[in-house]
Amino acid sequence: MSASVSLRAMAAFAATVEDGSIAAAARRLNIAASAVAAAVDQVEAEVGAALLVRTRAKGIAPTEEGRVLAVRFRALLEDCDSVLEDARAGAATLSGHLRIGYYAPVAPAFLPGLLIPLQQANPALEITLIDCSADEAQAALLAGRLDLILFAAAPVRSGIVTGKLLDLPPYVLAPLGHPIAQGRATLADVAAHPLVLLDLPVAEPYVTALFRERGLAPRISARANTTEMVRSMVGAGAGLAVLNMRPRTDRSYGGEGLASVPLPDDLPPITLLVGRAEGRPKRAVAVVQDLLLGWASGPKARDLIVSQKG
């Protein structure tokens, strides 16, 4: 790519691919749509090929070459931002906008406690937290819409660098007073009672497979797509639930008492990862990633794990 393609043209092209239209890219970059269109034309002229398919009904869609080029442009722009940020700040403070996507049903149990002290020490750092599925988190990271993601281990897409945070074994959530709440349980014990299912990608197929692979077929009494609602349903008496990470409270949103009961340690866990895009990360991304990895190796992280060993 010739040096005649400016950083601004790269940014305009990447934003057009990410947002799906020249008008949306112009709004995001706060420049005229004509300037974005000119930048796109410049990039296509430099490459010598059409990189965007323009349709009146659906706006703009990138060719495969256009999509790859937009991702590489975004990585170059992030590298430039990181170099300037380090030079500007002298490694003293963090600034800018950090966008974190998370698929961890009880991430509110630990993320704020890690991020708020960091933000208080770096007032110029703005943080956005976005709840999304593991697949959505990876797609948004590669598209440049997120800077860092927390997600349950699944096939990791090419272009993402990961670090392991926690192995999370399954446990049973039961209302206080339930026979299972008195001690340890097996999946066969759980299958004898109604089940409230956390209906999320990764979580639902994981729990379903735990029972199916052991020849068990629990009766599903209810489904909910948030951990808070699952906990409240269990507290209200709808049944038991199988989860993988517990919050720091033994009460549901409805105020009922709950018990976290370990299952056998030979059951497979769900693995929680932290991920970022390949390349040199901007400084805030590297700092938060290290913060998460350090937290995961400490006692506060282990408090979120229910295990017979614990």
- Is residue 144 domain-shared with residue 176, that is, in the same domain? no
- The torsion angle over the Cα atoms of residues 170, 175, 176 and 181, rounded to 10 degrees, is -40
Answer yes or no: is pLDDT of 3 > 60: no
pLDDT-derived band of residue 93, with 50, 70 and 90 as boundaries? confident
Q: Is residue 229 part of a domain?
A: yes
> Which of 228, 244, 230, 22 lies closest to 131, judged by CA?
228
Cα 82 to Cα 76, 240, 263, 293: the distances in Å are 10, 48, 45, 21
Q: Is the overall model pTM greater than 0.85, yes or no?
A: no
> Which of 49, 48, 54 lies closest to 36, judged by CA?
54
Report which secondary-structure segment, H or E, holds 108. Answer: none
- Is residue 238 domain-shared with residue 287, that is, in the same domain? no
- Is residue 132 domain-shared with residue 198, that is, in the same domain? no
Domain end, chosen from 51, 76, 101, is at 76
Answer yes or no: is pLDDT of 89 > 60: no
Domain end, chosen from 49, 76, 103, is at 76
SS3 168: strand
Give the domain extent around 218: 170-262
The Cβ of residue 144 has, within 10 Å, a number of other Cβ atoms equal to 20
pLDDT-derived band of residue 54, with 50, 70 and 90 as boundaries? confident
- Is residue 132 domain-shared with residue 147, that is, in the same domain? yes
SS3 119: helix
Average pLDDT, the chain: 89
Question: Could you say which DSSP state residue 308 is in?
Answer: T
The model's pLDDT over 259-284, given as tens digits with 9 standing for 90+, comes to 999 999 899 999 999 999 998 888 89
Q: Is residue 87 part of a domain?
A: no
Q: Domains in the chain: how many in total?
A: 3
Average the pLDDT over 12-28 and give the result.
91
Question: Could you say which DSSP state residue 177 is in?
Answer: T
Q: Is residue 109 part of a domain?
A: yes
| pLDDT for the residue numbered 96 | 86
Domain end, chosen from 30, 47, 76, is at 76
Average the pLDDT over 30-42 and give the result.
91
- Cβ(150)–Cβ(102) below 8 Å: yes
b/e code 88-116 from CB counts within 10 Å (16+ = b): eeeeeebbbebbbbbbbbbbbbbbeeebe
Q: Is residue 201 part of a domain?
A: yes
User: Edge-to-edge, what's the strand order for the sheet holding 125-131?
Assistant: 125-131, 96-102, 148-152, 270-277, 160-168
- Is residue 279 domain-shared with residue 162, that is, in the same domain? yes
- Is residue 256 domain-shared with residue 208, that is, in the same domain? yes
CATH of the domain at 65: 1.10.10.10
- Is residue 58 domain-shared with residue 187, that is, in the same domain? no
- Is residue 102 domain-shared with residue 231, that is, in the same domain? no
| pLDDT for the residue numbered 88 | 56
Q: Is residue 309 part of a domain?
A: no
Q: Is residue 22 part of a domain?
A: yes
CATH of the domain at 275: 3.40.190.10
- Is residue 249 domain-shared with residue 230, that is, in the same domain? yes
The model's pLDDT over 299-309, given as tens digits with 9 standing for 90+, comes to 888 888 888 77
